[in-house]
Each structure stands twice: as C-alpha cells, then as structure tokens.
Structure 1
Amino acid sequence: MNADFVNAVSELLKMGGRDLVEKDFLIHSLLFDLSRNNYFRSNFLLKGGTCLIKCHLGYFRFSEDMDFTWGEQSVFNGISQKEIRRKLSAAIEKVGDILEEIAARHGMDFKCRKADRNYVELVGSDKSATFKVWYDSMVLKRKTFLKIQINFVDLLLFAPVDKELASLFSALGDDEGKNLRPLFEKEFDAYSERPKLAVYDVREIFCEKARSILTRRSVKARDFLDLYLISAKFGLDPGEFKAEITAKIRFVLGMYERYRSNFEEKKKLLKSGAFFEWGNERELLIQKIDENKFHVFLNEIKSPLLEIVDNVSS
C-alpha cells in the first residue's frame, strides 16, 4: 500500500481521516478478489453499509466493514439442527480458506483458526461468523484489521440484484481521479476496478437498517443516516415496510438471545425520545448532509418505529 497514494486521495477529498482511505482501498481490493472466487461469488450476498455506498447511494460516508449473507436460505429448510451445524462448519472452513489465500496475496495476516478469536468469532451456534484480516497500517503505524461478517442464516424478503461496486473515486469526480493515474498507476488501476457481486436490494437494506436501530446494543448514528438517505433517494418510508421490519425483528429475536435485551432497551430509549446521538460517527462522513432535513426525518420516523415495536411485542 502506497502511503503517498493515500495522502493524495485524502487531500483531494479534503479530509484528515487518511486511515479510512487506506482501509477503503484494502476493502475494495478484498472485494475484488472475493468477486473472482466462484464459490464465494455464487453463495454470498453483499449487504450493509459497504453495499450501500458502493452500489446504491454513492460515497457519502466511509464504511469500515464488509457484511454478507448466505444467499440460498432454502438449503436449511427441512433438515435437522445437527445437519445445519455441519453445513455451517463446512462453509466457515471454506470461507476461511479463501480469506487465508487472499490475505497472503496482499501481505495481510489471517489464519482460519475457529478457536482463535483474534481471527474468527462464531456466535449463534455458528449461524454468524466474523473474520478478522489483519494488516500493518502505514497511516496508524500499528497493526489493525478488516472485519468480514457473514450471517449464514437470515431472513431475506427481496430478491438480490447484481451490481458493480464503485470505489472512492466516484466521490472525487472523473477528472480529479484521473489526474492521479500518472503518479500512481498501479494503485489507480486497482482502485478503479469495478468488481461485480450479488447484493441486497435497497429495500432489504432499508428494512435491515430499521431493524438494526431497534435491536443493536448501542446507538449507531450511521443506521439513522443510512435510513434517511435511502428514504431521500428512493422515496422509501418505514411506515410502508412495517410488516417486513417487524418480521425481521422477530426473526433475529428468535435466533439470537443477545438481541432480546437490546430490543427492550431500545424500546425504552425510543419512548423516551432519546434514541439518537451522533457520537464520533461524523468522522465517517465524506459529503455534507442537510442537518435540518435529517432531524425532520428523525422526528417523522419515531411514530412508525413505535408502531413496529408494538407489533413485535404483541
């Protein structure tokens, strides 16, 4: 990874978070390699914030993780929990082997050791796995990691779509980005690649973001921001997806015990009116947002979210 390239991109963006630019470049490189692996490309759907900025909304903020879901959920229908566990174990091993190979190619550190939480974390009887790929950050001057989280068992309500994945260059403009090529040809060409993956429909992400707001342990400003920008661009309203959001919440409450206490806490926060705070996530923003419109949106979604809470609890 060329530190001068990271500095040049950061200067064009007029931002100080050079470590985020470095991480985004590495995420894009991993996604490109994953898209070229037939097993991974055929079985997993990209979702979450990285999917949102690369496929649906453009680079309005940085996303620091890669989130995927197993695409063909029907493979778990009609089989025993023991058989599900066997399938999940095999899939985790396969993904781990793929990541180990990719990490070695990029000079990163990953070992497929399921008992070592420095590399792999498993929850929900292996229904969810987090893989940590470590790298030496030239910006931070220390070792840190990229996180790839996969939900193997999930509730999908909308058909996935095939999309090309944009890079941070989409936030720079064609001319500004192209000016970097004579100076950093290798990095520019790698970052300009547009890998193709099957990804979540924007409606699926919209419902997932609303679900996250009500089941995540902490308050994440990015969930509200993502919901707002999806609504603004695609005209989606939480009130129109109450049934879908309710179904997703009930699904995760039944699947993962940790979400149940989170949901009860979020109910209290929502009813108290203190359910949003920025925290340090402003640092992830690349583009400015209309704060007034954003806060109007926050007020507008409170009522449908309360209805969803009541639906889940009834």
Structure 2
Amino acid sequence: MISYSKIRTIAAEKKLMDIVIEKDYVLDWILWGISENDYLKYNLVFKGGTALHKMYFSDWRFSEDLDFTCIKPINVDKLREALILICKDVNNKSGMKIELKSIEASGDTKEDWSYEIKVEYLGPRQQSGGNLPTIILHITYYEPILYEPVKRTILKSYEDIPGDFFILTYPLEEIFAEKLRTVLYQRCYPKDVYDLWRLTKEVGD
C-alpha cells in the first residue's frame, strides 16, 4: 500500500481531493483482483467512464464506480465467493483492508437482471470513525455486446500495483455506442455528454 503522503502529493498534482485519489487507487487494486479470479476474469467485460480512464486515456475524467457487462449469467453464490476471494487476495497483496458489504440483484427475468455490489475499504488515509468509504460495482447481463471485447492492460498510475495484468474491456466503438444509447434513451447526465463528446474526437467517424 502506498503512503498517505503519496496520496496527498498526487492529489495536489492533479488538483483533486485526497479521498478521490485514494478511491482511484483502490479501484486499481480491485481490477487487479478481478484479473486474478478464474470465475470472473473471462466473463466480466469492463465498460463506462472508469474503463476509459483506466484502460485507454490516463487524462480522462476520474470516475468512482466499476461497470461491467457479463458474457454469461453469473450465479449469485459463486459471485459472492469470487468477491470474497478477491477481497482476501487484495488485502494480502496490498496491505489494505477491503470487504464485501452487499450484493443486490434486480431484474424481473434472467434476460434483464443486474447486480449492484458494494465494497468497503480502509486505504492509505486510514480513516477512523464514521462509515468507511465504499466502491460500487455494477454488473449487467441484458446489454448486447456488438463488438468483440478486447484484452487491455491497465494504464498503471500507482507504483505498487502489480503490472501487466489484463481486463476484458469494451473497445472504444462499443463504449461510444453505449454512451450514445444512454444519452438518447436513458439519461443525459453531464458526465455522459462529456464522454460522448470526447469520444467523437477520439474514435472519429
């Protein structure tokens, strides 16, 4: 685990709050844990704004959640076992403390179900008192994947993160299509509009 002073230094350089940098750091460790898990690493496909920041563009906006589409349906008991193991592996490797807090399922049929997962962590800031910060993972199954997922190596930005691990990830064209669908038919948040605008420049026609 990197030191709190290192977190503060990076936060100052990027003009962000230290809690944002700490969460970004923990995201890297969770992604590493997923890459080491045989049940999830070939079934979860990384997507969304965090995928853009972690896998494609280091200067993309910081994002707090991890969003995935799964290729095959996931059994909730096996998912829980996998996440508990991931937390254990991250704790042993990093020296942090992360813990699975909850898994909530939604959807009326097997074609539209999704999971929202909350993971609590005690990171370099060593927060004392109050509720510990959490990271949310979203896993959906109903979303069609039009392009072949690609193996992407994380853009390493923290010195103690194990290098050269891959995560199955949406290609840029797929992320663009998903963002466009979101803005047109689901919601129109500023972050989605920004992502779509910048992707038009990055992906082109």
Q: Where does residue 61 of structure 1 map in the other structure?
A: 61
- TM-score scaled by structure 1? 0.56
Alignment of 1:109 onto 2:99: yes
Q: Superposed, which structure 2 residues align to 1:233-272 within 5 Å?
A: 233-236=202-205
Aligned residue among 151, 160, 167 for 1:197: 167
- TM-score scaled by structure 2? 0.84
Q: Where does residue 184 of structure 2 map in the other structure?
A: 214
Equivalent residues of 2:105, 2:114 under 8 A apart: yes
Q: Where does residue 124 of structure 1 map in the other structure?
A: 107
Q: Is the helix fraction higher in 1 or 2?
A: 1
Q: Is the strand fraction higher in 1 or 2?
A: 2
Q: Superposed, which structure 2 residues align to 1:129-148 within 5 Å?
A: 129-136=115-122, 138=125, 142=130, 143-148=132-137
Identity of aligned residues (%): 27
Aligned residue among 118, 122, 140 for 1:151: 140
- 5+ long unaligned stretches in structure 1: 73-86, 112-118, 170-186, 237-314
Equivalent residues of 2:56, 2:155 under 8 A apart: no
**Count of residue pairs the alignment pairs up:** 192
Query: Take 1:144 and 1:215, find their aligned partners in 2: how far apart are those partners?
Result: 31
| Alpha carbons of structure 1 residues 19 and 6: separation in structure 2 relative to 1, 3 Å | same
How far 1:225 sits from its partner (Å)?
Answer: 0.7
Alignment of 1:97 onto 2:68: no
Query: Take 2:41 and 2:33, find their aligned partners in 1: how far apart are those partners?
Result: 10
- 5+ long unaligned stretches in structure 2: 92-96
How far 1:189 sits from its partner (Å)?
Answer: 2.5
| Alpha carbons of structure 1 residues 18 and 216: separation in structure 2 relative to 1, 3 Å | farther
Query: Which AA in structure 2 matches 1:8?
Result: T
| Rg (Cα) greater in structure | 1
Task: State the secondary structure of the residue aligned to 1:99.
Answer: helix
How far 1:22 sits from its partner (Å)?
Answer: 0.2
> Does 1 or 2 have the higher relative contact order (CA < 8 Å, sep 6+)?
2
How far 1:21 sits from its partner (Å)?
Answer: 0.5
Query: Take 2:197 and 2:57, find their aligned partners in 1: how far apart are those partners?
Result: 11
